[in-house]
């Protein structure tokens, strides 16, 4: 072997080790920067690692966490889903996605991510804690109780589970068990402000004023920036005729939350009792202004909800022409309402106004770029215009954000037209897996498999001769 050949062989043998070392170095730099909350530095290091090893799931997971921290929701969702696609056995990937969907109040999507997690790891405790939190957010105390009890069976004595279940039981007026759970949480962590606060509220509801005061004082001390804790403490102090202390609590609540209507009312009442009528009148005027604004906001919310329900009903009845003026009324009330623009796009689509559809759906996406249904409508419209590349790009964004059978089917359909039969098979298999009874998906998959088989035979037949 010549010297040159030997050098080449040594280089080729060393190259994988060198690449692996470079990857480890970049990845570890990313972890260190992320731990130190140096997010720009962490992102650069993880991007370097991704370039070196494009198929490493943890790189995508960490990049997703950085995007989520920056409130870059679309790339965060995509990153979590890419991590899952590369390594679907890792529960933390599903959990990260579920937490993000919960923050976005996309509770159905969050629950679906948790269900996928539990298929991978049925006894993953934090999954049940998160399901409990989601149920609490939705006001479903019965479901919250079930999930939190399951969490505590897996993590007996876990403090967050104890106080959250205590709050849920208290909301259901199961006061004895609620109080016991909150006291148990405080035995484990006497500095837990949430437990003190909620135990104080529970005792206040039961008329146990001394206990309520003790726990609310601790809650306000441990959570000094919590306006509600100071307000609730103030109400207990006022009932105990500790007016100077109550006034200080109400004023602190208003420092923290100047639009706290109930605190303005409580302060005004206290000031009137102590003869400070002029200041009391100012506080009461603030209360009345804020109450009127809250009432107007509730009425606006009610009208928006009514509009959405009526418009949904009209669209489901193929009465798009009647829905359109309602949508414009809705946008006059709420110009940033992404769903209204999407609905306008649906109306334009039904009357085959393709450019109008694209205009409206672009407005919707400008406001909520992580909504897969909006990208789906954009893709359907581009497909109707014969713009297969643009349509495919929109459908790719859909499946990057969510598992929509219609999007996988559309991608397969386009890829068949473009002669990309192997990609078509992959996407159509996914469509059939999601919707096994979809006749178009099954038929297109048969076509793609037949085209793939024909292409394979043709390639064999055109091989090199003897």
CB atoms within 10 A of CB 21: 11
User: Is 129:106 a contact under the CB 8 Å cutoff?
Assistant: no
Dihedral in degrees, nearest 10, Cα atoms 268, 273, 276, 281: 30
Reported pTM = 0.81
Q: What does residue 267 show for φ and ψ, rounded to 5 degrees?
A: -65, -40
Q: Please give the Cα distance from 304 to 136 (Å, whole number).
A: 24
User: Is 94:114 a contact under the CB 8 Å cutoff?
Assistant: yes
Average pLDDT, the chain: 91
CB neighbour list of residue 337: distance below 8 Å, 6 or more residues apart: 304, 330, 331, 367
C-alpha distance across the termini of the chain, in Å: 33
- pLDDT over 70 at 11, yes or no: no
On the 0-12 / 13-18 / 19+ scale of CB atoms within 10 A, 316 is exposed
Record the tokens describing residue 29, joined without a space. 């730099």
Q: Write down the CATH number for the domain with range 403-456.
A: 1.25.40
Q: What pLDDT, in 10s, does the model give residues 293-337?
A: 999 888 888 888 888 888 888 888 888 888 899 999 889 989 999
CB atoms within 10 A of CB 18: 10
Q: What pLDDT, in 10s, does the model give residues 72-131?
A: 999 999 999 999 999 999 999 999 999 999 999 999 999 999 999 999 999 999 999 999
User: Is 441:428 a contact under the CB 8 Å cutoff?
Assistant: yes
For the chain, give every domain's residue range.
403-456
3-state secondary structure of 217: helix
CB atoms within 10 A of CB 380: 20
Biggest distance spanned by C-alpha atoms of the chain? 111
Q: What pLDDT, in 10s, does the model give residues 176-220?
A: 999 999 999 999 999 999 999 999 999 999 899 999 999 999 999
């Amino acid at each position: 072997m010549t010297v040159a050949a030997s050098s080449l062989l040594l280089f080729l043998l060393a190259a994988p080790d060198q690449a692996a070392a470079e990857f480890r170095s970049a990845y570890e730099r990313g972890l260190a920067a992320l731990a130190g909350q140096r997010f720009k530095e962490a992102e650069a290091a993880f991007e370097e690692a991704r370039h070196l090893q494009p198929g490493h799931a943890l790189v995508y997971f960490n990049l997703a966490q950085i995007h989520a921290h920056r409130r870059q929701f679309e790339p965060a969702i995509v990153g979590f889903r890419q991590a899952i696609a590369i390594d679907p056995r890792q529960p933390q990937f599903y959990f990260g996605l579920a937490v993000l969907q919960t923050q976005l109040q996309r509770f159905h999507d969050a629950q679906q991510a948790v269900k996928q997690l539990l298929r991978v790891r049925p006894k993953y405790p934090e999954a049940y804690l998160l399901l409990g939190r989601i149920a609490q957010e939705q006001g479903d105390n019965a479901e919250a109780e079930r999930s939190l009890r399951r969490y505590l069976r897996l993590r007996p004595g876990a403090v967050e589970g104890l106080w959250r279940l205590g709050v849920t039981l208290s909301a259901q007026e199961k006061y004895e068990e609620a109080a016991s759970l909150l006291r148990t949480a405080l035995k484990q962590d006497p500095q837990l402000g949430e437990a003190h606060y909620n135990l104080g509220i529970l005792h206040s509801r039961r008329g146990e004023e001394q206990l309520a005061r003790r726990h609310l004082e601790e809650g306000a001390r441990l959570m000094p920036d919590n306006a509600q804790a100071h307000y609730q403490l103030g109400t207990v102090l006022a009932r105990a005729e500790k007016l100077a202390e109550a006034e200080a609590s109400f004023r602190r609540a208003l420092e923290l939350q100047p639009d706290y209507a109930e605190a303005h009312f409580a302060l005004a009442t206290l000031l009137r009792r102590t003869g400070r009528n002029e200041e009391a009148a100012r506080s009461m005027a603030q209360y009345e202004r804020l109450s009127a604004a809250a009432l107007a906001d509730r009425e606006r919310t009610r009208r928006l909800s009514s509009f959405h329900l009526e418009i949904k009903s009209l669209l489901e009845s193929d009465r798009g022409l009647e829905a359109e003026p309602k949508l414009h009324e809705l946008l006059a009330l709420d110009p940033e309402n992404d769903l209204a623009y999407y609905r306008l796009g649906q109306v334009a689509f039904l009357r085959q106004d393709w450019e109008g559809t694209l205009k409206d759906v672009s407005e919707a996406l400008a406001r909520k770029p992580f909504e897969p249904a909006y990208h789906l409508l954009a893709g359907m419209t581009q497909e109707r215009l014969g713009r297969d590349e643009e349509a495919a790009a929109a459908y790719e964004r859909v499946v990057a954000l969510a598992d929509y059978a219609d999007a996988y089917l559309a991608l397969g359909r386009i890829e068949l037209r473009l002669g990309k039969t192997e990609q078509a098979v992959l996407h159509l298999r996914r469509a059939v897996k999601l919707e096994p009874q979809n006749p178009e998906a099954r038929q297109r998959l048969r076509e793609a498999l037949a085209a793939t088989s024909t292409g394979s035979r043709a390639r064999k037949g055109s091989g090199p001769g003897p």
